[in-house]
Amino acid sequence: MEDGLYVKKMPANWYSSDGYADKMISYLDDREKTSDHRPFFAYLAFTAPHFPLQAPQESIVPYRGVYNEGPDALRERRLRRMIQMGLMEPNTVAHPFVASESPEWDNLSNEQRRKSARAMECFAGMVHRMDENIGKVLDKLEEQKELDNTVVVFLSDNGSEGAAYEAYPVIATSIMEHLATPGYYNNSIDNLGNPDSFVWYGPRWAQASTAPSRLFKTYNTEGGTRVPMVIRGPGIKRFGISHSFSTIMDITPTVLEMAGVKHPGRKWNGRDVVPMRGLSMLPWLRCETKHIHDEGFVQGWELCGRAAIRKGNWKANFVPAPRGPDKWELHDLSIDRGETNDISEKHPKIMKELMGLWEQYMLENGVIGVSPELGTVVVPTEEQLTTTGWMEFEYWKPGAREQPEKFFVDVPKIY
């Protein structure tokens, strides 16, 4: 979409990461041409490396053969490298793979391994291309002599995408049939990554990407919520790697303080405004404080019948079957970043405190219970969704791009 409208005709050879970065650069150029050089806020959100895994071949080819040993080997290699770089402690234990719906590498045929490794090469190419485009934007800021006067924040919105969509009811029917229909996509191995291919890499490569963390996107374990964040800019004195806890909700207060702008409070234009839950990271970035949040800070998460509550380094997870034990677990993240060791029975008082905090979180946020002892059970997303109840615009159907208004459906709301 652009300016609120669906784009009906794409430019030739358009690739999203290139297009978004070029658009941002055009905004910077437009600003440079004016006499208005007030501080600016820019938000550049890439859709890569979301599936379908597609990138220009010149970005994919450099990764040929890099992943031929499979996700298990990649996971071990990456964890060793993170330990060498100081990103993880030397005694870090990775959580075991949880991917019963996806065959192990040793059980795949040679052809299946080649296609799987090629999918990962496409993913790497997407990340490579995104990195190059971020560099183009930074180069433009430097050219305009604004880079050293600009705070740059890079982060991901969630852990890696680990779904085996071929096993999801909503995908395994109409979407998989669509992908297999002759004339739409060419998923031959030499064509993977091109615009007329459509693949994803599944839960095993995803868990290689999130090592040593547990699981991936849509889970409230560390693999779904712990993401990289890199910050650089004027006034920032903190340097190096930090494991200090922060949340996406801290970004807005940080930007407001940097800009010298005050939040409007509880009222805005005559209506109630929910107060911000995050804190400004600026005192921490200036090395004026040791942590962003104190040890008593409580953070909860819930999604698709999965839940977590954290206070300091103590974290309780609820992961329903089949990927979890269908009960609350307790982990000490200061010594167990992989969430491998449930210590709820060793620390019943802490577990009781976290369960009380979870109940409070549910009341404050209107959350439906996720376990029998705390309320109504909500089944995970894959059981909730139907083939006709998940998206309002059926964009994949012939003619949808040209006449989108004819392909909107009334999606039932679940309350």
Query: What are the DSSP calls for 37-84, one per residue?
Result: -----------TTSSS----HHHHGGGTTTTTT-HHHHHHHHHHHHHH
Domain co-membership, 24 together with 131: yes
Domain co-membership, 214 together with 333: no
* CATH value at residue 346: 3.30.1120.10
pLDDT tens, residue order, the chain (415 aa): 888 787 888 899 999 999 999 999 999 999 999 988 888 999 999 999 998 999 999 999 999 999 999 999 999 999 999 999 988 899 999 999 999 889 999 999 999 999 999 999 999 999 999 999 999 999 999 999 999 999 999 999 999 999 887 777 666 667 777 787 888 899 999 999 999 999 999 999 999 999 999 999 999 999 999 998 999 999 899 988 888 899 999 999 999 999 998 888 888 899 888 888 899 999 999 999 999 999 899 999 998 889 999 999 999 999 998 899 999 999 999 999 999 999 999 999 999 999 999 999 988 887 876 555 544 444 545 555 555 556 778 877 888 888 888 988 876 655 4
Domain co-membership, 145 together with 59: yes
Give me the pLDDT at residue 370, please.
59
Type of residue numbered 326: D
End position of a domain, from candidates 244, 277, 312: 244
Would 362 be classed as within a structural domain?
A: yes
Q: How far apart are CA 409 and CA 415, in angstroms?
A: 19
Identify the CA nearest to 209 among candidates 316, 373, 67, 42.
67
* CATH value at residue 182: 3.40.720.10
The residues near 292 (Cβ < 8 Å, ≥ 6 apart) are 244, 245, 246, 250, 279, 281, 284
Domain co-membership, 325 together with 225: no
Pairing mode, strands 298-303 and 271-272: unpaired
Domain co-membership, 109 together with 25: yes
Domain co-membership, 404 together with 369: no
Would 285 be classed as within a structural domain?
A: no
Give me the pLDDT at residue 188, please.
93
Domain co-membership, 82 together with 193: yes
Domain co-membership, 228 together with 309: no
Would 405 be classed as within a structural domain?
A: yes
Domain co-membership, 411 together with 346: no
Domain co-membership, 52 together with 127: yes
Domain co-membership, 364 together with 397: no
Would 65 be classed as within a structural domain?
A: yes
Residue numbers of the domain that contains 406 = 385-415
Split into its structural domains, the chain has a count of 3
End position of a domain, from candidates 244, 260, 287: 244
Domain co-membership, 77 together with 194: yes
Q: Locate 254 and state its tokens.
A: 């940080």
Bridge partners of residue 315, in order along the sequence:
310, 331
Type of residue numbered 55: A
Give me the pLDDT at residue 313, please.
94
Identify the CA nearest to 28 among candidates 144, 132, 189, 136.
144
Q: How far apart are CA 16 and CA 18, in angstroms?
A: 5
Per the document, the length of the chain is: 415
End position of a domain, from candidates 180, 215, 244: 244
